[in-house]
A and B are shown apart, each in its own frame.
Chain A
Amino acid sequence: ETGVTQTPRHLVMGMTNKKSLKCEQHLGHNAMYWYKQSAKKPLELMFVYNFKEQTENNSVPSRFSPECPNSSHLFLHLHTLQPEDSALYLCASSQEGQIYGYTFGSGTRLTVV
């Protein structure tokens, strides 16, 4: 496997469920990100991890909980979500110090019912 892999590709969950999104990068990068893409909005940065340490939390509600066990894996734990949280959740990775942008995964299309 190469690049950035996200699972699942699609997820439908009820407001009382608990689920997790997974991201894995095979690029040897040391920074990983969660982005949210909603219709007609810019890509919104949610969380940033550098060398497994969280360095950014852009006022994300606590019903979203990230976890970065190592520099290759990133999770987003979801609980008691709202319908407005339905969106495409994108994971990305990059190499600290090399400013050529990110490599994105294909995303998880989340629908909260």
Chain B
Amino acid sequence: DQQVKQNSPSLSVQEGRISILNCDYTNSMFDYFLWYKKYPAEGPTFLISISSIKDKNEDGRFTVFLNKSAKHLSLHIVPSQPGDSAVYFCAAGGGLTGNQFYFGTGTSLTVIP
């Protein structure tokens, strides 16, 4: 069974507006969450993370929110730029899973100029 789910396979946003990517997980033992960004023909690259002791982490235009009670996290990108167009993977792990992370299926973001 999938432990990390990204239910929106794709998202289109106008340049300058906010992009919100969502992720749900099932294992309450996860204590570390990451977002990766992937361009075609490249491997995923680390974008931003959050630990379970926080509910928000911000890095420039990127903010990740964690709602532990709902087992839900989201990535906000504002303002969105055409260069943000990529596939975004959510990953969860840590705790009893050690260094093993579980990934979602990804959301393909298109930022329209």
Measured CB to CB, the residues of A under 8 A from B are 4, 6, 9, 31, 35, 40-43, 45, 48, 50, 56, 90, 92, 94, 96-97, 99-107, 109
Contacts and interface: CB of A to CB of B under 8 A. Distances in A.
Contacts of B32: 99, 101
Contacts of A92: 43
A24 to B, nearest CB: 13
B89 interface: yes
Contacts of B44: 43, 90, 104
Most chain B beta-carbon neighbours within 10 Å: one of A45, A92, A96, A104:
A104
Interface residues of B, number: 25
A4 B43 contact: yes
A50 B104 CA distance: 23
Given A101-B101, A106-B43, A107-B42, 17 more contacts: A6-B43, A35-B103, A40-B105, A41-B105, A42-B2, A42-B103, A42-B105, A43-B89, A45-B102, A56-B100, A90-B43, A90-B44, A99-B93, A100-B49, A101-B32, A103-B46, A106-B42
